[in-house]
Amino acid sequence: MDNCWHPIYRVNTLDRMAHVEIAHITHVLPDGRPLLNDVSFRIGEGVKAALVGPNGAGKTTLMRLIAGDLQAVEGTVASSGGLGVMRQFIGSIRDGRIVHDLLLSVAPTRVRDAAEHLAKIELLMMERDDEKTQMRYAQAITDYTDAGGYDIEVLWDTCTMAALGIPYDDCKYREVNTLSGGEQKRLVLEALLRGPDQVLLLDEPDNYLDVPGKQWLEQVLRETPKTVLLVSHDRQLLANAADRIVTVESGNIWVHGGGFTTYAQARRERNERLDELRRRWDEEHAKLKRLVNMLKQKATYNDGMSAAYHAAQTRLRKFEEAGPPEMAAKDQNINMRLRGGRTGKRAVICERLELTGLMKPFDLEIWYGERVAVLGSNGSGKSHFLRLLSGEDVDHTGVARLGARVIPGHFAQTHSHPELMKRTPCEIVMTEHARLKNEAMKILARYELAGTIAEQRFETLSGGQQARLQILLLELSGATLLLLDEPTDNLDLASAEALQEGLDAFEGTVMAVTHDRWFAADFDRYLVFGADGKVYESSEPVWDEGRVVRAR
């Protein structure tokens, strides 16, 4: 089978054993709420498994438990073959981090430890350059070499060329925040797929990737012999790349042994079976209680019935101790009420607009009520364009202005929101939108953000919960122009469908940067940021801009 794998992604086959197994894991949140209850599953060698479930169900927490970032209350986690981890927000860990740091963060532990020690000695050398320090420095270099540090830097050169088109030596000191979200993801994926670790945990690896990038990811996931557990909300990617579906919902886990195309039907059938088992259990429970009550009454005036009464009591007690069967998880009910409002006929006007260094000048008019998808490769300027229209200070020449009564509302691509940090959804809605607590909780309930979630700090919410809160704030802001930057990236399927329904009912104008093939199908116009710097319109979605021949 080796000849069917892409040669770049072949791993060391001296030890091909690679698996992940969790057994009887129970995890409780810091506030005491149970999140996972006695869950177990195994991902065998070479399997590509997708972890799915509602936002906040525990997918990222489960990944962190497997990675060792968290410790469970009970249960065990085992893996073999080395563990490579892509975390959900790879670019937001520390300001000022450089490409070298990003690549090192996904290197094998031995390399990371040796590199950290070498860096400390190098700092010490700047303070004192005596013989003892020189000897320690020489030993640190030897240790880094023995750990495979210089060998992996050769690998990193291949990775930066593939992801950024730049040799490693030319970009290793570049700050990570100067890379687009897609460039960061592609770089980390290149390093993990080419690296020695044979088990990969990928938490939303497709976020910020353009469609050619997602298609590349689908292909390499199919071809790599590595064992992969990934979290994704992209249905097309799941259908093309996953051969197992691991569902997290209501604190439990169940595994569908087929692919994503048969998953929805399998889930419906499973829930029907669980509902039927629960109905039978309830009927049997009621029957046993009636029997006990009947025998209790008879035993009061007939001593001969006492033995039967006590036997029925024992049977009922054992039945209740065994407990009911698992309940089917309820479906989410998210109700977005994006209202908007009437504006002038022209909502957005661009005249000879050029974002400095990103695109060539272009003209554009967007009319009230239109749905415009902004497409193009990563780094082409799409996010900057939305930021400019939202009122942020973005270097540009030419004119970009909004029409009469147009109020922009911006959904940011990243989840770095210092203004929301250390605040709960309830506090945010109450203070920024003058709502009483009861009213705020009712509003949050429509987005399934009520209850204990409403009292959690923003930074502790899942990526999908943060995204839903941002959309709710757009609803409350009274925006008449929605500027959405990858809005579906962190939304689960139910939330994405609710967003689409909300946009259908929105009385205003929508512009959305997206790489979601399903989401884009509902838009009226497609504004494409070309690879050559030209901005043009297309009547259909354009996912691989370089393959389109345009009339001159």
| Residuewise pLDDT in 10s, the chain (552 residues) | 333 333 334 333 334 579 999 999 999 988 788 899 999 999 999 999 999 988 778 898 999 999 999 998 999 999 999 999 998 877 544 557 899 999 999 999 899 899 889 988 888 888 887 888 888 889 989 998 998 889 999 999 999 999 999 999 999 999 998 888 888 999 999 999 999 999 999 998 988 788 888 999 999 999 999 999 999 988 889 999 999 999 998 889 999 998 898 998 999 899 999 999 999 999 999 999 999 999 999 998 888 889 999 999 999 999 999 999 888 887 777 888 888 899 999 999 999 999 988 889 999 999 999 999 999 887 788 999 999 999 999 999 999 999 999 999 999 866 567 888 889 999 999 988 878 889 999 999 998 898 888 999 998 887 788 989 999 999 999 999 999 998 988 888 778 888 999 999 999 999 999 988 889 989 999 999 998 889 999 989 998 775 444 443
**Assign residue 199 a region: left if phi > 0, alpha if psi is -120 to 50, beta otherwise?**
beta
Q: Which of 379, 384, 375, 353 is nearest to 545 (CA)?
A: 375
CA distance 442 to 341: 23
The DSSP element (H or E) to which 311 belongs, if any, is helix 306-322
How many Cβ atoms from other residues are within 10 Å of residue 105's Cβ?
Answer: 18
CA distance 45 to 47: 6
Residue 358 confidence (pLDDT): 87
CA 211 to chain centroid, in Å, comes to 16
DSSP reduced 3-state for 398: strand
Residue 137 confidence (pLDDT): 86
DSSP reduced 3-state for 35: strand
Task: Quote the strand ranges of 53-172, DSSP E.
Answer: 74-80, 83-86
Task: Quote the strand ranges of 239-338, DSSP E.
Answer: 244-249, 252-256
Report pTM.
0.73
CA distance 1 to 454: 51
Q: Among positive and negative, which fits the CA dihedral 418, 423, 425, 426? A: negative
